[in-house]
Amino acid sequence: MSNKKSIHFEVSERKILLRVVDLVMVFIGVYLLSLYFDFEYIEVSIDNNVALILLGVYFAVFSTIFEMYDLQKASQFDTTFKNIVITVSTVVLFYLLTPVLSPYLPDERLQIVYLYITLIISLTLWRIFYTNLIESPRFYKRVLLVGEISNIQGLIKALNTSDPNYKIVGFINSEASSVEAVKFKGLPEFEAKDFLETIKQENISEILVASFNSEAIMAGVYHDLISLLERGFKIRDYTQVYEELLHKVPIQFVGKDFYKYFPFSRSNENKLYMFTQRAFDIVFAFIGLAIGVLLLPFILIGNAIGNRGPLFYSQERVGKNSVPFNILKLRSMVINAEADGVKWAQKNDSRITKFGMFLRRSRLDEIPQFYNVLKGEMSIIGPRPERPFFVNELSQIIPFYETRHIINPGLTGWAQVSTRYGASVDDSLTKLQYDLYYIKHRSIFLDLNIVIKTLSTILYYRGQ
């Protein structure tokens, strides 16, 4: 079988490409500005390396915070342009306000405007090229799904919202079926007997196997998969792709072989990682409480006007190893908000006060929890602690729910920055998938990623 390989950039490759070329375009913009115009504020030279490195570091940090490397957003030019403007504005502002390391302000202040406009133009031109070429169909990864019809719909629905370049072009039913069998209409179905020919005709670059009963795979399909594997063709399991693209564990597809899906991160037993995390928790808890003390006068005024009642409230939550503890928060709801019984907080919940909504969206209501972090009941990063009532309810409905309690709960976490506020059983299932992904892959780099995404949540005012 001769199959012409299509060009495709993996997720990690596209993110690296965006980061590297973005930085190159920043420096090219500065270089061209100094080459063709009377621009002296920043010169591209060895003698000016500190100022150039500072510019690059600021851009790398703020471009990440303002989501310029979110591939879903990077594929949409209007969103990309907005993020470019916000990023460049912040970079230039911080650059101007950094003493010693950045150049002295130019006598002609208009040069700062030239720098600002040049950075926006150079980045925009590159991103237009990226959106229209790299994100075009010629670079799509064309995938053929092999699996049972009963499981295909849920899998396709999940993967279609993840990577805009990952295109499932059709499927092959791995089970023998009769003429009267139910057909899946949402995707083209190819005949199993034409498996190898389909790969050639459809220019398939990857086979995704989503069979939950390997014993039920038809002999012909099985032998074709073996033949493809022997020729070096890329064949992947759906759980591997699901975690890679969606960054969560597909527990809704896990059966009796659940133990294969939870080889939890070695960091859970790594003494150096545990020590580093605890030191990080203590340092940031002190910083957080200090910020809280500085903001306290303004919060007191807002509470007196918009909340009219106690500033703090305490509530029982479930911690590590299912041990309950009392969490401390700034009150954001009316007094006696649960007079009618315990219930989920909803979007635009009438029990939330106007000032309480501000506290939630800015995440200021979480500041007192730094005290829980100091006590060791919580961590800065971890699964969100839930109330015993909801834990008892959800653990009976959702498999593996109690697994999230094997580490300390957190002030922020992978689930908090990756999905919306949990207000239903379905939302809780999604959050659990992200929590298990964090427990499975936790590391210093993932923790850093969560911190940056948390800053994005705060700056974009997305807290709930």
Q: What is the pLDDT of residue 392?
A: 92
Q: What is the pLDDT of residue 327?
A: 94
Work out the pLDDT band at 379, boundaries 50, 70, 90: very high
How does the average pLDDT of the chain come out, rounded?
86
pLDDT at 178 over 60: no
316-336 pLDDT per residue, tens? 999 999 999 999 999 888 887
261-313 pLDDT per residue, tens? 676 666 677 889 999 999 999 999 999 999 999 999 999 999 888 888 889 98
pLDDT at 260 over 90: no
pLDDT at 380 over 90: yes
Work out the pLDDT band at 99, boundaries 50, 70, 90: confident
Question: Among residues of the chain, what percentage have pLDDT more than 70?
Answer: 90
Higher pLDDT, 306 or 180: 306
Q: How far is CA 401 from CA 194, 336, 346, in A?
A: 42, 29, 21
Question: Among residues of the chain, what percentage have pLDDT more than 90?
Answer: 39
C-alpha 169/C-alpha 187 separation (Å) is 7
Query: What is the pTM assigned to this prediction?
Result: 0.81
Higher pLDDT, 87 or 187: 87
